[in-house]
Amino acid sequence: MITVAHSSDADDAFMFYALARGKIDTEGVQFEHTLQDIQKCNEDALKRKFDVTAISFAAYPQAVENYLLMTSGASMGEKNYGPLLAAKRPIPLEEVANQSIAIPGRQTTAALLLKRAFPEAKNLKVYPFNQIMEAVLQNEAEIGLIIHEGQLTYAKTGLVEIFNFGRWWWEREKLPLPLGGNVIAKDLEPVLQKKVNRLLKQSIQYALDHREEALDYALRFARGLDPEVADRFVGMYVNERTLDYGPDGK
């Protein structure tokens, strides 16, 4: 039995659909899936709790003794999208560091990007990623660090974009923004590691080839997203780069 942990959002559900619902031949390998917040995945990776887990790339260096990075399953921001900062009112960039900021976990890649772009920001409040917008709306924080599907829905709540890390990274590096990937335990047999890596790639390919079917499953984890918005979100983070990082993604 291979234990797998990944975040409870639509893009990961889409990615793992074929494995979770027996749509591909797993060559005798059985999988047990646990869905949880990405920060919890990061924390569990430090303890080697799961055989395979989603992980923020910012957290991977802390877990490298336990895990190998898999060749498939990455989520990349591109030149016009990625994590963002949003607030109830426009806030000048020079004032961002002085505000209270709700973040989805200190080990997330988004939190590392915030630290890089606004190193003087210290008043950080940790929330589950799906509670950050509400925290801002309820004045528990001035700014929210938005990840996952919130990148497409924040405006509907009345929040305004303050800063886009996808655009910022592209302007600096001219490269895709590595946000998260999947890792596999080093203590598994090498033959099994290769097999599981291959099966994950097949699962992603199946979802891409059977998009409507896989998206219907993913909608169960989309927290009320409109199907068209969910499709757009999945397309942002499950694509050819998810099958393989590509030369510029590596």
Spatial contact of 53 and 134, defined as CB atoms under 8 Å apart: no
List the structure tokens of 226.
Answer: 């409109």
- pLDDT of the residue at 250: 65
Residue 119's contacts (CB-CB under 8 Å, 6 or more residues apart) are 97
In whole angstroms, what is the distance from residue 2 CA to residue 193 CA? 10
75-77/177-185 β-pairing: antiparallel
Question: Given this model, what pLDDT does residue 249 score?
Answer: 66
The rounded average pLDDT for each run of 10 residues, N- to C-terminus, in the chain (250 residues) is: 93 95 95 94 97 97 97 92 97 97 96 97 95 97 95 94 97 94 98 97 97 93 83 91 79
Structure confidence at residue 9 (pLDDT): 86
Query: How many other CB atoms are there within 10 angstroms of residue 29's CB atom?
Result: 13
Residue 183 near residue 60, CB atoms below 8 Å: yes
Q: State the CB neighbour count (10 A cutoff) for residue 156.
A: 10
Instruction: Give the active site residues.
Output: 148
Q: Count H helices, E strands: the chain?
A: 12, 11
What domains are defined for the chain? 2-76+178-243 (3.40.190.10), 84-173 (3.40.190.10)
Query: Tokens 């302007």 label which residue?
Result: 171
| CB neighbour list of residue 60: distance below 8 Å, 6 or more residues apart | 45, 67, 69, 181, 183
pTM of the entire predicted model = 0.92
